[in-house]
Structure 1
């Protein structure tokens, strides 16, 4: 009686095979996106660090009459926030990749036990809103880059108005293309 639901019944093997296909597609999409975020986050953080080093030196002072310029303070606040967002996104991507690795690891046991473990893991991903978290990570990199560009434009306005105007136009064009590509489809 109830042999069709026995631990080694065919139904569990079919269930596991079908969900393995579904999971592999989902996980492949997540991994590709997270890998791209990690590369972008690392490169962007390296570039951003150069600017932070350049401008943070302006905040160095002796205890005499020196006062940091408000623009220098604003630049450093903007760029440090941008750096923290970029590094935080990279860290979150690494953690998400670890979650994915644990999710797809094939457990030992009967097909029924494997199905139960897979379902338990799947419910954990649902409870912790894994798809939403992975979907939001690019937003933090985008915000980080937007802050970087704001800081860059402020920095350039201090150096040269001619260069700043050219960069304003270029940045506005890039921002317009970005918004159009995200809002139109």
Structure 2
């Protein structure tokens, strides 16, 4: 009789183990309605200096930036720190005579995230300091060449400058929810269950 109980207990343990081992994981849940909305702020850091010094900067020049803070939707980072972004110089004025200062204008075009180009909006500018406009006006009346040769300073935006940009299009997201680890039963625990069942009989 004891042998029958032992066999029955072993079969029960084996059946329970099989059920735990082969039970399928629940299907992966997704949040299909998550969206990266227009107007979401994307903080950027300029990767290179922009300056009118040397008169080499031109309208249409493309420059690079990096995302300085993660962009998060529903607790998930969708644009990580370090993602590459691109901007474009839209206007350049070099410094000149009569104290005229340099000036530049630029805009942000897009950022790359997870292999996708996301359109951004945002603009910035810088203007150099005029070279003593009041003094130039006076000097020009007394001695014309003195005012003519006085120049302003160049416009400059240093590398590392933080620039705010904004998402310029709604971007649908497919955020994958994490699953809990499957439950397992240790072999030793199974033997203890069989022995307990035999002892009770």
Indicate the structure with greater helix content: 1
TM-score, normalised to structure 1, is 0.24
TM-score, normalised to structure 2, is 0.22
Indicate the structure with greater strand content: 2
